[in-house]
Amino acid sequence: MAIEHIDGDYIVREHANGAVERILISHEPPPRPRIVITQIASSDTEALIAPGDVTIAAGESVAVLAELRAPDESLIPLTAAFRMPVLSRDGRERIVLARFVEGVAEISTTFAESGVWQIRAAAINSALPVEQHMDFDGLDIYVVQ
């Protein structure tokens, strides 16, 4: 017969023969909802659109349709708005408003200057409480002259 108790991050099991087992308790975070891009469009008729990135001319706009999905892939019917940081590789930052209605958002903005702009989960979550954090695979927007 073994006696068990918790010691920090371990379950300690002491056996009658004197052997002691230490079993690490898993601290995996629960799965988070995720933002899934379902469509990318642009005012640039020559835009190059691929999963995870888009290339447009300066002065053109990008519109992204996205859904907020639960770990089981079902739509989360959230109606809310939050600020979404869009970061440039050279340090510039812009903020766009993401408005979700019943779990679906259309996010649109015009890019006036050339550069590589990125939307990442870390930036999205940076201003949100931990319990509202989301996963996101990211989007790169290449703006050319």
Q: What is the CATH number of domain 34-144?
A: 2.60.40
- pTM summary value: 0.77
Please give the pLDDT value at position 99. Answer: 95
Specify the higher pLDDT residue, 2 or 15.
Answer: 15
Segment 58-69 shows an average pLDDT of 97
Least confident of 92-96, 99-103, 124-128, 132-136: 124-128
Residue with tokens 């695979």: 137
Specify the higher pLDDT residue, 11 or 123.
Answer: 123
Above 90 in pLDDT, residue 28?
A: no
Order of strands, edge to edge, in the sheet holding 93-101?
Answer: 48-50, 53-57, 139-144, 115-119, 80-88, 93-101, 104-111, 60-69, 34-42, 135-136
Segment 88-113 shows an average pLDDT of 94
In whole angstroms, give the CA distance from residue 93 to residue 85.
7
Please give the pLDDT value at position 97. Answer: 93
Please give the pLDDT value at position 30. Answer: 79
Q: Percentages helix, strand, coil for the chain, rounded to the nearest 5?
A: 5, 60, 35
Q: How confident is the model at residue 82 (pLDDT cuts 50, 70, 90)?
A: confident
